[in-house]
Every structure is written in C-alpha cells, then in structure tokens.
C-alpha cells in the first residue's frame, strides 16, 4: 500500500508539471525545455526555507517559491520571446542548463552535489503530513487547484488567443494582439505552477540535489505531455500516469535477473517510439507538434 | 479625404527595391485597386501598410494626421486597418467559430483571462459567418475547410473586425464564380457602409467592375493611377502589365 501511495504522490507531482507545461507547449506552441529549472527553483526555495533554524512553514515557502519563480521566469520569458520555433527550444534548453549549473555550483546556498537533507513535511490544522496518505491528499488538492485554474485559463478568451498564437502568431498580431504579453503571461503562470510541484517534491522526498532538475527531467516532463496529448489538460494527467506507472509495471515482467534493469529501459523506449509512430498526437491530444 | 497615404515609402530586400519611393493616397469610402505584374511590389505594399514588414523608408499617413515611420502588426487595428493574406492564413487547428471569436474578444491580457465570449461576440460571429455561408460549419476545424471556404473564412474574420480600411490581397484567386460573387457583394457592401477597400487583384475584369480608382505598380514604383477605364487604356500600362 505504501508503494502505491508513493507512486500516486509522484504521479500527482508530475501531473502538476505536465498540466502547467501543456499551457506553454500544447496551447501556445512554445516548445519549452526549461520546466525543470522552475521545478527546481520551487524545490530549493522550500528546501532552504524549511531547513533554516526558525524557518517558515511549508505553505509560506510555496508562496515564496512561486514569487521567486515568477520573477525569474519573467526575465527568462522576455529573452525567449526573441526566439521562434526550434530556436525557442534551443534557447530554453540553455536556461535549463544554466539553472542546473547554479544548483550544482552555488555551494553556499544549495550545498551543490551534496544536496539539502532534512526537509520537513508540512503540518496544517493539526494534520500531520508526515503520513504519506495525508501527504497524497494534500498533493491531490493542489493538483485539483492547478487543473481547474488551467481549465479556467484555456476556456477564457485568453486561452483562445494562446491557441491562435500557436497556429499563426503573425496572423493574430494583425488583429490587434500584442502576442509578447500573452506569451510572457502564460510562460510565467506555467513556471509558477511548476514551482508548486517543486515545493511538494522537496517536502515529500525530504532531500533534494541538482540531479532532480536536469535537462533530462525537462525532457521527461515534455514527454508526459506529448504522450498524453498536447492542448489537452486531461492528456497531461494521463501522460504522467502512463510514464510513472509504465516502468513499475515492467518490473513485473519476468526478465532474467541479470539484464532486467536494461531490458526494462529498452521496452520502455520501444513503447514510447511505437506510441509516437502510431499516435503522434498523443493518447488524447488535440494538436501535433 | 485621404484615409491612408504613403509618402516616399521604401522597402528593400538585399538591395532590391520591392517598393521604391512610393507615394499614393487612398480615398475614404472608395474601392481602390492595386495592380501590376508579379513581383511589382503589391503584396509588399500591403505588408508594409499592415506592419507585417518593417518600413524601410518614407512614411505611412493615416487619416491625414498620424504620420508613421514605424508600424507594428498589432498596432494596425488601432488605426482601423485589417487585412487578408495572399496565401490564406487561418488558425488551422481551431474551429471556424473560434477563428472569428478570437478577433472580436478582449485584447488586454488580464481582462481576457476573465472573459468568456458573450452573446454579443456570438452574434457578431454568427452575422459574419452567415454572410459568407459558413455558419453551418461553425464547429468544424478550419483545416478541414475547402480552399474556397478558407478564403471566405479569412474574409469573414476581417468583417468581424468592423474596421475602417480593408486590405484584401488577391481575395478572388482560385475561386469558383459563386464564391467570387459572395466576395464581390461583400466588397460592394463595405463601400455602401463608407468603408475603404484596397484590393490587390490580377483579374482586370473584376478591377473594372469593382474599383473606383486604381494604382498600377511596376518594379516597386508607381506606373500610373486614375479611374480604371482610363488607366487600363494607357499604353505604358498595357505594355508593362499585359505585355502587349
């Protein structure tokens, strides 16, 4: 049971990351591979604030993580707005690399590769979230909030403009939209949501180090939304569920013990390739890259 | 009254003058044709007037008062200008209805976050889609429309803007007579409403039929201007444009 709760918590954290990235990639067409940087900023903010003596509580640390991420993502978004298409992806990749380098090398703040241990779990109204089931409920509440906030966004006139930017940015501009503001806003909102996921991750694992916020992590988050379905919020959740559960399910396939780990990786990769070959729009996607 | 003017407008691409010190004046409430051989700079002119291309020199004057040496695409609706594209540019993976709604709803980022389209927006969309005969297809994705329907949707999108100046870049190209008639009727109706239409077109018959005034361009320069019945008879125009 503890194992299932553990998987459910990881799923919920990745679902938050997926839903938030889908706003940027699926709805707006900005191929961002820097989401793990914002996830990391949220995680480090919470980790640092919760491990200081006389530090603040978990929930204020989420708020501060969001604020810090909003500021940083605004500046990054401003630079990225100069790029289009593949160049946007490359530019965003650069920012993830910079963020990772900062997490790894700013020893005084992040303790570099040693990481930050002893991050506490939250407590609210006498409910102790050290209990994994309680923690799961809390993450699910936040997943619900992120999901409904995203649904509100995509159902608004703002959401319709995002889709138009994705389809033809220049064409929507001539109808009076300054697309820079729309792109920046959605980028910043998505980053803020990723920071929430980071705070939960730090508090759940109780230890973080830079290896959780690499470029590979950004690619993994991107894979969840492409697999689940771009421009479909439920697709992000399905994608997270699929990518978290698939390696676990493969554990129960009877591969020979000495090559089991490698075989699981191979099968995992083959399934992803087959899905992209035969279902390029993802499981329930509405848009192909 | 000249609602739109260019003064010594210039656009170069790698040293080639696509538009070369062009000075023209467009009268309000008239249908003005822009004709010329391929590569004469007609579409470049439309792109300059709509901010899609950066002005390389000279100025654009709106309403005889606003002198612009720099014009960004998102600013043109402020000056009452809207346009279609030579190659149709729709929001392909959006429904026909959303292609219209997206141009009539809120422009302000924060206001748009809290806006869902209202009955008013719905009525505007219905009115323009009925006009071009696409209301029945409102829930289809734009990408699934036929070529002619795509052209009509693009025109409907400009009508929804209720602009003062319409820049139509070859709206009749490749269309069946039935659809050509729908677009001709729309252009005439815009004139009746005292709106201004700038029409880039190759079909001389349509130019004669619809336009009050025409400009003939060749190699980025103004070759001739005037009423179609006079200009189209000029030897210099016949030589440059019709190759006779």
- Identify all chain B residues contacting A177, using CB atoms and an 8 Å cutoff: 74, 107
Q: Which of residues 14-53 of B touch A (CB under 8 A)?
A: 50-52
* CB proximity B116 to A under 8 Å: yes
Q: Please compute Rg for chain A using Cα positions.
A: 19
Instruction: Examine the pLDDT at A235 and tell me if it is beyond 60.
Output: yes
Nearest neighbour of B106 by CB, restricted to A157, A166, A168: A157
Nearest neighbour of A167 by CB, restricted to B92, B101, B115: B92
Cβ neighbours for A18, distance < 8 A, ≥ 6 positions apart: A221, A224, A225, A228, A236, A237, A239, A240
* CB proximity B79 to A under 8 Å: no
User: Between chains, do A175 and B91 touch, taking CB under 8 Å as contact?
Assistant: no
Q: A173: distance to nearest CA of chain B, Å?
A: 5
Cβ neighbours around A278 below 10 Å, total:
7
Q: What is the mean pLDDT of chain B?
A: 94
Span A102-122, average pLDDT: 92
Share of chain B above pLDDT 90, in %: 87
Q: Which of A118-122, A172-176, B117-121 has the highest mean pLDDT?
A: A172-176
Q: A70: distance to nearest CA of chain B, Å?
A: 16
Nearest neighbour of B113 by CB, restricted to A153, A164, A231: A153
Q: B243: distance to nearest CA of chain A, Å?
A: 35
pTM: 0.93
Q: What is the mean pLDDT of chain A?
A: 92
3-state per-residue secondary structure call for chain B: CEEEEEEEEEEEECCEEEEEEEEEEEECCCEEEEECCCCCCHHHHHHHHCCCCCCCEEEEEECCCEEECCCCHHHCCCCCEEECCCCCCCCCCCEHHHHHHHHHCCCCHHHHHCCCCCHHHHHHHHHHHHHCCCHHHCCCEHHHCCHHHHHHHHHHHHHHCCCCEEEEECCCCCCCHHHHHHHHHHHHHHHHCCCEEEEECCCHHHHHHHCCEEEEEECCEEEEEECHHHHCCCHHHHHHHHCC
User: Between chains, do A176 and B77 touch, taking CB under 8 Å as contact?
Assistant: yes
pLDDT at B244: 55
ipTM passes above 0.90: yes
Nearest neighbour of B83 by CB, restricted to A155, A161, A174: A174
- Identify all chain B residues contacting A166, using CB atoms and an 8 Å cutoff: 93
Band of residue B242 on the pLDDT scale cut at 50, 70, 90: low
pLDDT in tens, B132-145: 999 999 999 999 99
pLDDT in tens, B55-93: 999 999 999 999 999 999 999 999 999 999 999 999 999
Instruction: Examine the pLDDT at A23 and tell me if it is beyond 70.
Output: yes
User: Between chains, do A158 and B83 touch, taking CB under 8 Å as contact?
Assistant: no
User: Between chains, do A176 and B76 touch, taking CB under 8 Å as contact?
Assistant: yes
Instruction: Examine the pLDDT at B150 and tell me if it is beyond 90.
Output: yes
Burial A175-191 (b: 16+ CB within 10 A, else e): bbbbbbbbbbbbbbbbb
User: Between chains, do A161 and B157 touch, taking CB under 8 Å as contact?
Assistant: no
The residues of A whose Cβ lies within 8 A of any Cβ of B are 153, 155-158, 160-161, 163-164, 166-168, 170-179, 181-182, 185, 231, 286-287
Band of residue A113 on the pLDDT scale cut at 50, 70, 90: very high
Nearest neighbour of A175 by CB, restricted to B109, B112, B161: B161
Cβ neighbours for B207, distance < 8 A, ≥ 6 positions apart: B33, B35, B199, B201, B214, B228, B232
User: Between chains, do B91 and A177 touch, taking CB under 8 Å as contact?
Assistant: no
Q: Which of A33-42, A114-123, B228-237 has the highest mean pLDDT?
A: A33-42
pLDDT in tens, B163-220: 999 999 999 998 999 999 999 999 999 999 999 999 999 899 999 999 999 999 999 9
pLDDT at A267: 81
Interface test with A, best of B47, B74, B76, B143 (most A CBs within 10 A): B74
- Distance between CA A140 and CA A146 in Å, rounded? 10
Interface test with B, best of A171, A187, A280 (most B CBs within 10 A): A171
pLDDT in tens, B115-125: 998 899 999 99
- Identify all chain A residues contacting B98, using CB atoms and an 8 Å cutoff: 160, 163
Q: For chain A, what's the residue count?
A: 289
Instruction: Examine the pLDDT at A7 and tell me if it is beyond 60.
Output: yes
User: Between chains, do A161 and B112 touch, taking CB under 8 Å as contact?
Assistant: yes
- Identify all chain A residues contacting B77, using CB atoms and an 8 Å cutoff: 174-176
Chain centroid to CA A169: how far? Answer: 25
- Tokens read off for B87: 């190659």
Task: Establish, for the pair of chains A and B, how many residue pairs have beta carbons separated by less than 8 Å.
Answer: 95
Band of residue A248 on the pLDDT scale cut at 50, 70, 90: confident
pLDDT at A33: 94
Q: B165: distance to nearest CA of chain A, Å?
A: 13
- Distance between CA A222 and CA A234 in Å, rounded? 15
- Distance between CA B118 and CA B105 in Å, rounded? 9
Q: Work out the burial of residue A152: count CB atoms within 10 Å of its CB; fewer than 13 is exposed, 13-18 middle, 19 or more buried.
A: middle
Instruction: Examine the pLDDT at A54 and tell me if it is beyond 70.
Output: no
* CB proximity B114 to A under 8 Å: yes
pLDDT at A80: 96
Nearest neighbour of B113 by CB, restricted to A158, A163, A177: A158
Q: B34 or A251: whose pLDDT is higher?
A: B34
Q: A161: distance to nearest CA of chain B, Å?
A: 6
pLDDT in tens, B8-20: 999 999 888 999 9
User: Between chains, do A168 and B52 touch, taking CB under 8 Å as contact?
Assistant: no
pLDDT in tens, A148-160: 999 999 999 999 9
User: Between chains, do A167 and B94 touch, taking CB under 8 Å as contact?
Assistant: yes
- Identify all chain A residues contacting B76, using CB atoms and an 8 Å cutoff: 174, 176
pLDDT at B243: 64
């Amino acid at each position: 049971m503890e194992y299932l709760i553990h998987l459910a918590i990881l799923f919920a954290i990745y679902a938050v990351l997926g839903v938030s990235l889908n706003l940027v990639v699926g709805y707006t067409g900005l191929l961002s591979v820097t989401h793990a940087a914002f996830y990391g900023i949220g995680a480090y903010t919470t980790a640092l604030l919760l491990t200081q003596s006389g530090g603040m509580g978990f929930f204020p640390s989420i708020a501060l993580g969001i604020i810090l991420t909003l500021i940083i993502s605004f500046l990054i978004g401003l630079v990225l707005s100069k790029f289009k298409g593949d160049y946007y992806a490359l530019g965003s990749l650069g920012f993830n690399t910079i963020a990772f380098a900062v997490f790894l090398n700013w020893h005084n703040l992040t303790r570099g590769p040693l990481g930050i241990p002893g991050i506490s779990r939250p407590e609210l109204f006498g409910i102790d979230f050290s209990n994994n089931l309680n923690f799961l409920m809390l993450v699910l509440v936040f997943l619900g909030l992120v999901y409904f906030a995203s649904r509100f966004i995509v159902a608004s006139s703002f959401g319709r403009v995002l889709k138009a930017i994705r389809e033809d940015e220049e064409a929507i501009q001539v109808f009076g939209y300054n697309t820079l503001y729309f792109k920046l806003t959605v980028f910043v909102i998505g980053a803020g949501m990723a920071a929430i996921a980071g705070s939960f991750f730090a508090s759940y694992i109780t230890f973080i180090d830079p290896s959780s916020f690499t470029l590979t992590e950004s690619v993994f988050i991107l894979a969840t939304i492409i697999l689940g379905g771009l421009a479909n919020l439920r697709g992000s959740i399905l994608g997270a569920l699929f990518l978290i559960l698939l390696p676990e399910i493969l554990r129960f396939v009877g591969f020979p013990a000495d090559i089991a780990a490698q075989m699981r990786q191979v099968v995992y990769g083959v399934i992803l390739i087959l899905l992209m070959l035969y279902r390029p729009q993802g499981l329930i996607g509405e848009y192909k890259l | 009254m000249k609602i739109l003017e260019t003064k010594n407008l210039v656009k170069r691409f790698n040293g080639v003058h696509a538009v070369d010190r062009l000075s023209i004046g467009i009268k309000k409430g008239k249908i003005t044709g822009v004709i010329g051989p391929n590569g004469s700079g007609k579409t470049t002119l439309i792109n300059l007037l709509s901010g899609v291309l950066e002005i390389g020199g000279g100025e654009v004057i709106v309403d005889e008062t606003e002198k612009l040496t720099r014009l960004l695409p998102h600013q043109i609706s402020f000056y009452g200008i809207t346009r279609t594209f030579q190659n149709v540019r729709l929001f392909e993976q959006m429904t026909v209805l959303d292609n219209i709604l997206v141009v009539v709803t809120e422009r302000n980022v924060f206001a748009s976050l809290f806006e869902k389209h209202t009955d008013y927006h719905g009525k505007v969309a219905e009115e323009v889609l009925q006009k071009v005969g696409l209301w029945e297809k409102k829930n289809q994705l734009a990408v699934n429309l036929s070529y002619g329907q795509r052209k009509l949707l693009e025109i409907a999108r400009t009508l929804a803007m209720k602009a003062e100046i319409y820049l139509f870049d070859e709206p009749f190209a490749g269309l069946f007579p039935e659809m050509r008639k729908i677009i001709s009727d729309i252009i005439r109706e815009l004139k009746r409403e005292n709106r201004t239409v700038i029409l880039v077109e190759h079909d001389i018959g349509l130019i004669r039929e619809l336009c009050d005034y025409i400009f003939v361009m060749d190699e980025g320069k103004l070759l001739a201007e005037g009423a179609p019945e006079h200009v189209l008879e000029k030897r210099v125009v016949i030589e440059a444009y019709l190759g006779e």
